[in-house]
Amino acid sequence: MIRSTASSSSARGIAAIVGVGPKLVAEEIAREEKAQVFAIRVDCADSKSVRDAFEGVHSLGFIEVLVYNANYQPLSPNPISFQNIHLDTFQNSVAVSAVGAFHCAQEVLTGMVERGKGTIIFTGCSASLNGIPGYSQLCCGKFALRALAQCLAREFQPHGVHIAHVIIDGVVASPSYCRRKSGSVGDEISIRSGEDEGTVDPDAVAQTYWHLHIQDRTAWTQEIDLRSNTATFF
């Protein structure tokens, strides 16, 4: 997701800022796209870390697009009983999903409102809509993120700022999957046969994000869900 979103932006002439991403990723994208891509390290749950990071970003110019895609940790394939979840794990998950989005949105909204334009995209998942047994820490954070997106849309869209919440219902593919997908005919057959059933292509997600950014303001999308054509609906 980081690579695809940054590549999509830089390919269209927008300097991309990669937050929480390894410096190597930014350097690779910069070489491939021959565009400006910068990497910053930020703890989205820490207001000072976010503030310090955005001070550097603001020095580069107006922030026209914010894509918030932070998660506390990779989602475990095995559910965790509520009785076994530690309080700090629960708090950190909610902090990164929702509090981090709060901090980042506050950093960009002033400039967007002043200019009467801008796009903020929050990335959710099926846990944004449904309580899932064994994933209460994820669901609570994503529920809160969705509520924040709705509140900001109602408050700031009249000021020209597009706020969208994108629900990705599926596992976003890794770079290795994407390289394999664009490889030989045999690879394509393997993928079509169901080996990666339900996997979402990050480049396709990034393309959707771009379309959200350039939408005509008379027909803005506030929420959209994305899934593979082979996925089972939530």
% of the chain beyond a pLDDT of 70: 71
Helical residues (DSSP H) of 79-184, grouped into ranges = 87-94, 100-115, 136-156, 175-181
**Each residue's pLDDT tens digit, 13-61:** 555 555 655 556 656 665 665 556 777 778 888 899 899 989 988 888 8
Among left, alpha and beta (phi > 0; psi -120 to 50; other), residue 160 is left
| pTM summary value | 0.82
> Which DSSP symbol is given to 200?
B
Question: What are residue 135's phi and psi, to 5 degrees?
Answer: -135, 40
Taking alpha carbons only, the member of 59, 36, 68, 56 closest to residue 26 is 36
Q: Is the pLDDT of residue 190 over 60?
A: no
CA distances from 205 to 111, 152, 225 (A): 26, 22, 10
User: So where are the chain's domains?
Assistant: 64-226
Q: Rounded mean pLDDT of the chain?
A: 81
> Which DSSP symbol is given to 174?
P
Query: Which architecture does CATH list for 64-226?
Result: 3-Layer(aba) Sandwich (3.40)
Q: Is the pLDDT of residue 218 over 70?
A: yes
